[in-house]
Amino acid sequence: MQPNTEASEFENLHSMEIENPQAPYKRLERDVSLGNGKGNELPSIELVFKEKAIPTWRNQLTIRAFVVSIVLGTLFTTLAMKQSFFNGLVNPINMYAGIVGFSCIKAWILIIDKCGILGPPFTRQENTLIQATVLGITGVTSSGGLASYIFGMSLSTAKQRDPVIDDKLNIKNPSVGWLLAFYLTTSFVGLFFIVPFRKVIIVDYKWLFPSGQSIGYLINSIQAPLRTKFARKQVTTFGKFFSFSFIWSCVTWLFTGGRNCGFSFFPLLGFKASDAGFYWDWAGTYIGVGMMCPYNTIISVLLGAILGYTYLLPEINKKNGEWYTEDAKAESFHGFGAYKSLVSTSMILGDSVYQILKLIIVGLHRKLQDKDTTTALPVADLHSTAGSSALEIDEQFRTQNFLNDKISTKYSFAVCAALILVSIIVIPIIFPQVKWYYVVIMYILCPLFAFSKIHAQGATDMTIVIASVGKIAIFIFGSWAGVSRGGIVVALAANGIIGNFVSSASDLMVDFKTGYLTVSSPKSILIGKFTGIAVGCVITPLIFRYFQVTYPDLGINFSTYPVPFAGPTRDVASFALEGPSVLPKYCLLFCYCAFALGIIINIIRDVLPKKWGTFIPIPLIMAVPITIGSYLAVDLCLGSLIALIWRFKNKSQADVFIPIVGSGLICGDGLWTLLVSVFFLINWKPPACVRFLKTQMEE
């Protein structure tokens, strides 16, 4: 079976719809038909596309796709930068950028297709390429830190902080020239580092990546030919829940016109639980993610929320004035914020250290045993028989296509090493305070942080790890350099270097997940991502320069664009200059214990028999709600409960439609998020406020 059609087989290179003479779906159709005699009516997604040829990776790279990507990427970059300069908001859910991006892409493409401007309709492979390219462009803005660590280096930010540290070594005013060089130097390293691990993460580990999976289902649903009963039902189901989520998000937004207003603070479990953070926020996104996540992930999140917010954090809070000063701000590293942030991050890092060591040991073992890891693929659950259902056959077909276009591991690591060498040379030129050996240590730490983020994002789509990683990087390198050697600039630059590495690596995995579901070539996705990042590295500094020229008071408190996150980010760097000795009492001890616990729990999971090991929680996932909030557990559990009841009533139907329903809920909520951002920028505010208050009982 050859999923890709060679270029010579295309009589017209511009036509993507001719039938594949190799008939790659023959076995798929035969095996599905053998299942229960219903043939095409069975829920095989790939069988729906059997009459559409799969273009080679070169034919997936079309000029029109890149043109649309650059236009939309520039638009989204401007919108994101404007909002971050205004209120500093950085959404913790990666899926919004992708889903909102695709929604706008699809609307734009429909208009173009109807007008007949660019020829034949876009294929699902082109849509995936557009998605990867647009996210590459906007990813430079989100990880580039213009509204946080970059502007935190500036003189204007330094003069507004207390204490004022404005000597020359601790100041670096942003300009187009060095921003362009910095982004081009640091934004591609993670991209090539993570490419060799795509099989392990997407095929072997089968990490979920809810945003990538949702976009994949969205593309398949819209592109599917409606020639079968199942195809029509699939599209109708997705559309129903997409519309429901969008309308529901609109209705709930109308009642959020004030502080702590809206249904987002619904005390589902009572006010006492709500005070501890266990409330329902009525977000379709989290319900959808909960429906799609495995039960082990849900249990891990719930257990982490219970232990964190009913025992650990309340007990630490009682030590206010004993372990840390009473006047310390809640999120400050001088007080409660240090425990909340550093302890959860330590558990995440412990989990990641174990996973990396396990990956290396297993890889070496296979190498020594001379096993061919390229063909022995776990394309189905161990308890299932290959080809026993349409869904498993779909998975086999996608796996073969995903691995068909090989990307050389040797060349990927060679390019990664070359880029690191360039960084070691260029970064000290841009920042004289950042010595070359600082850069070496940063890149040694990058893989650890990258796998932490990819694991968290793959399981729950949460990107909070990057914020925690940023604080850890700032703390390590700020305390190492010290104020006399420009420690603030060193710390903030470290945040950027590690953040750009981690973000590009994790975002590529999300795109690979989408490409896996849409039968797109990993090569075309990698090229699209590379092109998007390259374009983003150029347009992001230029758009920033526009804001600098148009708004001379950019970054000044109470101005039009105050850049509110720049000051707090610089404060963290200033705090780091004092070193670990200023952390609250027992904070480091808690961190060491959490790190060790992350390793020990994983060892127990692997030592126990599989039937018992699956009941052991995942340390990294347990740490996520401690940083985000316990409300996350409520939302995910509700989604999981819906999925559990559905599977109990009709398992075969649930297995097919749960991902579609969950994706619809995520996409509808994501599209509404874009509109809310637009409303915010044009000063449209919700008209009403709803709050849930305790009743006052008369004695």
Q: What is the pLDDT of residue 329?
A: 66
Where in 198-304 does DSSP place strands (E)? none
Q: What is the pLDDT of residue 697?
A: 45
Most confident option among 193-197, 224-228, 397-401, 652-656: 193-197
Mean pLDDT of 662-679: 79
Q: Please state the three-class secondary structure of 139-154 as a single string.
A: HHHHHHCHHHHHHHCC
CB-CB contact of 134 with 105 (8 Å): yes
**Which candidate, 468, 507, 569, places its Cα nearest to that of 146?**
569
Q: What is the pLDDT of residue 238?
A: 82
pLDDT > 70: what percent of the chain?
82
Burial (CB count within 10 angstroms: exposed 0-12, middle 13-18, buried 19+), residue 143 = buried
Task: Write the CB contacts of 29 (distance below 8 Å, at least 6 apart in sequence).
Answer: 39, 40, 47, 50
Rounding to the nearest 10 degrees, give the CA dihedral for residues 242, 248, 254, 260.
Answer: -110
CB-CB contact of 160 with 171 (8 Å): no
- Residues 597-638 pLDDT 10s: 999 999 998 888 887 888 889 998 898 888 777 888 888 899
- Residues 515-571 pLDDT 10s: 999 999 999 999 999 999 999 999 999 999 999 999 988 888 888 889 888 888 898
pLDDT > 90: what percent of the chain?
28
Mean pLDDT of 469-477: 85
pTM (2 d.p.)? 0.85
Whether the pLDDT of residue 100 is over 60: the answer is no
For every residue of 37-104, DSSP letters joined together read S-GGGS--HHHHTTTS----HHHH--HHHHHHHHHHHHHHHHHHHHHHHHH----SBTHHHHHHHHHH
pLDDT band at residue 389 under the 50/70/90 scheme: low
Q: What is the pLDDT of residue 107?
A: 61
The single residue listed with the structure tokens 């305070």 is 433
- Residues 136-168 pLDDT 10s: 998 898 888 898 899 999 999 999 887 788 888
Q: What is the pLDDT of residue 646?
A: 93
* Cα Dmax for the chain: 87
CA distance 567 to 159: 10
Q: What is the pLDDT of residue 180?
A: 95
Strand-pair partners of 93: 462
Mean pLDDT of 66-94: 77
CA distance 439 to 427: 8
What's at 35, amino acid-wise?
Answer: G
Question: Which phi and psi angles does 170 have, rounded to 5°?
Answer: -105, 20
User: How big is the CA angle at 185 (ends 181 and 187), to the nearest 5 degrees?
Assistant: 115
Whether the pLDDT of residue 2 is over 90: the answer is no
Whether the pLDDT of residue 41 is over 50: the answer is no
CA distance 433 to 101: 38
Question: Which phi and psi angles does 10 have, rounded to 5°?
Answer: -90, 115
Residues listed for the chain:
699
Task: Write the CB contacts of 80 (distance below 8 Å, at least 6 apart in sequence).
Answer: 138, 141, 142
pLDDT band at residue 4 under the 50/70/90 scheme: very low
Whether the pLDDT of residue 24 is over 60: the answer is no
DSSP-based three-state secondary structure for 324: strand
Q: What is the pLDDT of residue 532?
A: 94
Q: What is the pLDDT of residue 672?
A: 80
Whether the pLDDT of residue 195 is over 70: the answer is yes
Q: What is the pLDDT of residue 330?
A: 61
CA distance 238 to 662: 9
What's at 48, amino acid-wise?
Answer: V
Q: What is the pLDDT of residue 338?
A: 84
Question: Which phi and psi angles does 462 have, rounded to 5°?
Answer: -80, 135
CA distance 566 to 151: 6
Q: What is the pLDDT of residue 361?
A: 84
User: How big is the CA angle at 353 (ends 350 and 357), to the nearest 5 degrees?
Assistant: 145
Buried b / exposed e across 412-432, counting CB within 10 Å, b at 16+? beebbeebbeebbebbbebbe
- Residues 476-488 pLDDT 10s: 899 899 888 899 9
CA distance 504 to 194: 9
Q: How many helices (H) and strands (E) does the chain have?
A: 30, 0
What's at 689, amino acid-wise?
Answer: C
CA distance 455 to 297: 11
pLDDT band at residue 23 under the 50/70/90 scheme: very low
Kindly give the interhelix angle for 464-481 and 619-628, rounded to the nearest 10 degrees.
90
DSSP-based three-state secondary structure for 527: helix
**What is the residue-averaged pLDDT of the chain?**
80
Whether the pLDDT of residue 645 is over 60: the answer is yes
Q: What is the pLDDT of residue 386?
A: 41
Q: What is the pLDDT of residue 654?
A: 85
